[in-house]
Amino acid sequence: MIPAFFGLAGTQLSPSEAALFRACEPAGFILFRRNVETPEQVRALTDSLKELAGNANVPILIDQEGGRVARLRPPHWPEFPPPVVFGEAWEKAPLTAMAAARANAQGLGVMLAELGINVDCLPLLDVKADDMHEVIGDRSYGRDPHMVASLGRATLDGLKAGGCVGVVKHIPGHGRGTLDSHLALPTVTASAEELETDLIPFRRLADAPMAMTAHILYTAWDTELCASLSPTIIRDIVRGSIGFDNLLMSDDLGMHALGTQPGGNSMAGRARGVIEAGCDIALHCGGDFAEMQDVAGALGEIGEAARARLERAMAWAGSASGTVDALAARRDALLAAA
């Protein structure tokens, strides 16, 4: 098994993808809108990935946050609100907002689990800042780090109740980024003291099963390498100051933020870089076959510590329960928070 999560090109596993994945044994997979059409098709796709991996619990990820970041959309799947809705509800009634966030996430988890998807890249723990780029925007719960932590915890709990593993992101915080890291490398010049605010939600949720790094340069901690590629940040901040000791994946290797970092435009170089920095998993989302070949060729066998973290993370949610009532509970909680 190699320490990589791979995307796919289309709505079914191609013969060439199957051959590559059989040869390199990626640790898991991630789905996007290009991969989903109908519930029956998605279930067939996830079944084929599990059969290929020989593992009914192989990680199959998706970004289903609600709002504009939703790979599964109507008419086949319901709409879910963006995280900011729960932050706004918190201003009126914190306990009701937490109940709504939990019920909403349980509905998400049930929907995903029924499709064979067992990991949702949610919740965002990015604390909103004055100059925060719109790439985060309404995906953030808001400005109060303690509120962000509480709603993040409620979301994690809801996903778990629905039978889905949650991923906190973007560790150690994307809220101060003024650029879209899909397109360029954001540089955050806040002091270490100022950045303490950004760390609060991640510290409070340091027991989350998985986390995803930020492709952001934080000059207070490392003047040259972004968090995903910085051994200093991963060792001293993520593993040290935050205390996160579960599965750590990079954000997508294909994002242009990494283009000016060591590794440049080489997917192999980027993959080696994030693993050498201390990430357990290199995430490659694009589904480009040649790039996946390069990443697979660059990575060796997953390390023992990373394998143990992966196994621990995938055991976190257990099996889904209460599926019949989960969406009704979500509806009632959202009405109460409105």
Return the active site residues. Answer: 182, 251
Sequence-distant (≥ 6) Cβ neighbours of residue 16 within 8 angstroms: 289
In 3-state terms the chain splits into helix, strand, coil percentages (rounded to 5) of: 45, 15, 40
The conformation of residue 137, written as its DSSP 8-state character, comes to G
Contact 230, 189 (CB under 8 A): no
Buried b vs exposed e over 244-280: b needs ≥16 C-beta within 10 Å? bebbbbbbbbbbebbeebbbeebbbbbbbbbbebbbb
Cα(166)–Cα(205) distance, integer angstroms? 11
CB 155 within 8 A of CB 102: yes
- Preceding omega of 26 cis (within 30 degrees of 0): no
> Counting every residue, how long is the chain?
338
